[in-house]
């Protein structure tokens, strides 16, 4: 599949940023977005990051997101958000939960939305279900079928305590693909497209420790280099230094 993914709103602290509560929407949706993209790529899909970080206003953010999405011929657009207005910062032992918006019941994104809701609910969140909205700008204006995922509520303590960005991202990916990352070989032909929209990532030089003993931990062995590179990036995002060694 060719998939557009973006985190909604400007980054936290800027104009037109997302909801603020026990956690910040615009911080967490970017964490989830990055992990979703990584896992989808590990499964062999071509993914474009259509997040906007410098919009001049809410309307400008939305306009730029749609422009980025519509620059690609995609099978699906995914907009990642967090909800608010639960007003339960003390916690009542119940999550307020997750919901996914699509343009209409006839949208081909609806079947993915149902599955995403189910997978997130399987983590322990209340399933608020799939909702239909013809007024949400992204759903209305993207060329590809789109869904807007409200992962959970930033102002519900029960939601926040249950939430983890990697688990949330993996649930979203399972809902879309029916698979967990790492269970399929990456198609090398997709790799040329996957980084086109990214900022330059660069590569840090690996430093060898002179004369000191080294104790190596192997995280996996792959016959396809692209899979090894995907795991390396995942480990680096988790704060774990990683190198690829050809045996």
Q: DSSP string of the chain?
A: -EEEEEE-SBPTTSTTB--BSSSBHHHHHHHHHHHHHHHHHHTT-EEEE---S--SSHHHHHHHHHHHHHTS--SEEEEEEEE----BSS--SS---EEEEES-TTSTTHHHHHHHHHHHHTTT--EEEEEE-S--HHHHH-SS-EEEEEEEETTBHHHHHH--HHHHHHHHHHHHHSS-TTSS---GGGHHHHTTTSPP---PPP-PPSSS----------SSHHHHHHHHHHHHHTT--------
Confidence of residue 208 (pLDDT cuts 50, 70, 90): very low
pLDDT at 203 over 70: no
Confidence of residue 183 (pLDDT cuts 50, 70, 90): low
Confidence at residue 191, expressed as pLDDT on a 0 to 100 scale: 47
Confidence at residue 202, expressed as pLDDT on a 0 to 100 scale: 38
Confidence at residue 97, expressed as pLDDT on a 0 to 100 scale: 98
If you average pLDDT over residues 6-20, what whole number do you get? 96
pLDDT at 142 over 90: yes
Which residue ranges make up each domain of the chain? Answer: 2-177, 210-247
**Span 2-177 CATH architecture:** 3-Layer(aba) Sandwich (3.40)
Confidence of residue 239 (pLDDT cuts 50, 70, 90): low
Higher pLDDT among residues 183 and 15, named by residue: 15
pLDDT at 139 over 50: yes
């Amino acid at each position: 599949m060719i998939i557009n993914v973006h985190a909604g709103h400007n980054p936290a602290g800027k104009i037109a940023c997302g909801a603020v509560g026990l956690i910040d929407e615009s911080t967490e949706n970017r964490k989830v977005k990055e992990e979703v993209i990584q896992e989808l790529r590990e499964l062999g899909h071509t993914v474009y990051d259509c997040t906007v970080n410098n919009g001049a206003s809410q309307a400008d953010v939305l306009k730029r997101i749609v422009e980025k999405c519509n620059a690609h011929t995609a099978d699906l657009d995914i907009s990642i958000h967090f909800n608010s207005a639960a007003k339960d910062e003390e916690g009542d032992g119940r999550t307020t939960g997750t919901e996914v918006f699509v343009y209409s019941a006839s949208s081909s994104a609806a079947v993915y939305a149902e599955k995403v809701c189910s997978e997130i609910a399987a983590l322990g969140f209340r399933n608020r279900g799939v909702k239909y909205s013809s007024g949400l700008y992204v759903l209305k204006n993207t060329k590809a079928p789109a869904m807007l995922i409200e992962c959970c509520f930033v102002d519900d303590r029960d939601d926040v305590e249950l939430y983890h960005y990697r688990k949330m991202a993996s649930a979203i990916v399972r809902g879309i693909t029916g698979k967990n990352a790492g269970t399929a070989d990456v198609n090398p032909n997709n790799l040329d497209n996957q980084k086109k929209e990214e900022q330059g990532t660069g590569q840090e030089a690996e430093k060898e420790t002179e004369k000191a003993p080294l104790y190596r931990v192997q995280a996996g062995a792959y016959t396809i280099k692209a899979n090894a590179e995907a795991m390396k990036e995942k480990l680096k995002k988790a704060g774990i230094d990683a190198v690829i060694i050809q045996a």
